[in-house]
Structure 1
Amino acid sequence: MQIHVVKSGESLWGIAQRYGVSYQSIAEINQIPNPGQLVIGQSMVIPIVGQYYYVQSGDSLWSISRRFGMNYQELARINAISVGSPLSIGQRLYIPRRPERTVEVNAYVEPLGGTVTEAQRRATREASPFLTYLAPFSFRVNRDATLTPPPLGDLPQIARDNGVIAMMVVTNLEQGQFSNELGRLFLNNPALADRLIDNIITTARRLGFNDVHFDFEYLRPEDREAYNNFLRKASTAIRGAGFLFSTALAPKTSAEQKGAWYEAHDYRFHGEVTDFVVIMTYEWGYSGGPPMPVSPISEVRKVLNYALTEMPGSKIMMGQNLYGYDWTLPFVAGGQYAKALSPQAAIALAARENVAIQYDEKAQAPFFRYRDDAGKEHVVWFEDARSMQAKFDLIKELGLRGISYWKLGLPFPQNWVLLEDNFVIKKGR
Structure 2
Amino acid sequence: MIHVVKSGESLFTIARRYDTNSATLAAVNELPDPDVLVVGQALYIPQTPDPDRRTIETNAYAEWYTAEPPASLMNEIRKRGPELTYIMPFAYEVRRNGSLVPFSWGDIGEAAARQGASTAIVIVNIEEGGFSDTLAEALFDDPAAQDRMIREIIAMAKEKGAKDVHVDFEYLGRENREKYTAFLRKLKNGISPEGLTLSVALPPKTSAEQPGKWYEGHDYAAIGNIADFVVVMTYEWGYSGGPPMAVSPIGPVRDVLEFAVSVIPANKVHMGQNLYGYDWTLPYKQGNPPARTLSPQAALALARERNAAIQYDETAQAPFFNYWLDGKEHVVWFEDARSIKAKFDLLNELKLRGISYWHLAFPFPQNWQILSQMFHVKKL
Residues 239-289 of structure 1 show CA distances to partners (whole Å, capped at 9, x for unaligned) of 122101110000000001011110001100111011100010000000011
The code of the aligned residue for 1:158 comes to: A
The answer to whether 1:398 aligns with 2:350 is: yes
Structure 1: 5+ residue runs without aligned partners?
A: 51-96
Residue 106 of structure 2: aligned partner: 153
| Residues 73-222 of structure 1 aligned to structure 2 (within 5 Å) | 97=50, 99-222=52-175
Partners of 1:98 and 1:6 in 2: how far apart?
29
Residues 386-429 of structure 1 show CA distances to partners (whole Å, capped at 9, x for unaligned) of 0000000001000000000000021111110000000000012x
Residue 82 of structure 1: aligned partner: none
SS of the equivalent of 1:293 reads coil
Alignment equivalent of 1:239, drawn from 160, 176, 192: 192
SS of the equivalent of 2:367 reads helix
| Residues 243-258 of structure 1 aligned to structure 2 (within 5 Å) | 243-258=196-211
The answer to whether 1:30 aligns with 2:29 is: yes
Partners of 1:294 and 1:98 in 2: how far apart?
32
Moved over 3 A (4+): none
Alignment equivalent of 1:381, drawn from 309, 328, 333: 333
Partners of 1:49 and 1:152 in 2: how far apart?
36
Larger Rg: 1
The code of the aligned residue for 1:413 comes to: P
Structure 2: 5+ residue runs without aligned partners?
A: none
Residue 46 of structure 1: aligned partner: 45
Residue 276 of structure 1: aligned partner: 229
Q: Is the 8 A contact 1:369 1:379 kept in 2?
A: yes
Residues 196-246 of structure 1 show CA distances to partners (whole Å, capped at 9, x for unaligned) of 122211221222111001100111320000001111111111112210111
The answer to whether 1:324 aligns with 2:277 is: yes
SS of the equivalent of 2:167 reads strand
Partners of 1:162 and 1:47 in 2: how far apart?
23
Q: Is the 8 A contact 2:60 2:84 kept in 1?
A: yes
Partners of 1:224 and 1:415 in 2: how far apart?
36
Alignment equivalent of 1:413, drawn from 344, 358, 365: 365
Residue 425 of structure 1: aligned partner: 377
The code of the aligned residue for 1:46 comes to: I
SS of the equivalent of 2:198 reads strand
Identify if the C-alpha distance between structure 1 residues 236 and 186 changes in structure 2 by more than 3 Å, giving closer, same or farther. same
Partners of 2:106 and 2:35 in 1: how far apart?
39
Partners of 1:255 and 1:220 in 2: how far apart?
14
The code of the aligned residue for 1:109 comes to: A
SS of the equivalent of 1:320 reads strand
SS of the equivalent of 1:148 reads coil
**What TM-score, normalized by structure 2, do the two folds share?**
0.98
Q: How much does 1:316 deviate?
A: 0.2
Identify if the C-alpha distance between structure 1 residues 391 and 98 changes in structure 2 by more than 3 Å, giving closer, same or farther. farther
Q: Is the 8 A contact 2:177 2:217 kept in 1?
A: yes
Residue 349 of structure 1: aligned partner: 302
Q: How much does 1:98 deviate?
A: 7.5
Partners of 2:359 and 2:338 in 1: how far apart?
19
Partners of 1:218 and 1:348 in 2: how far apart?
36
The code of the aligned residue for 1:20 comes to: D
Partners of 1:98 and 1:290 in 2: how far apart?
42
Q: Is the 8 A contact 1:356 1:368 kept in 2?
A: yes
Aligned CA-pair RMSD: 1.1
Q: Is the 8 A contact 1:184 1:220 kept in 2?
A: no
Residues 304-354 of structure 1 show CA distances to partners (whole Å, capped at 9, x for unaligned) of 000011111100000000000000011111221000001011111111111
**Which of 1 and 2 has higher RCO (CA within 8 Å, sep 6+)?**
2
Partners of 1:98 and 1:250 in 2: how far apart?
34
Deviation larger for 239-248 or 293-302: 239-248
The code of the aligned residue for 2:308 comes to: V
SS of the equivalent of 1:309 reads helix
**What TM-score, normalized by structure 1, do the two folds share?**
0.87
Residue 16 of structure 1: aligned partner: 15
Identify if the C-alpha distance between structure 1 residues 140 and 371 changes in structure 2 by more than 3 Å, giving closer, same or farther. same
SS of the equivalent of 1:370 reads strand
SS of the equivalent of 2:211 reads coil
Residues 150-189 of structure 1 show CA distances to partners (whole Å, capped at 9, x for unaligned) of 3201101111112111111100111221111111110122
Residue 57 of structure 1: aligned partner: none
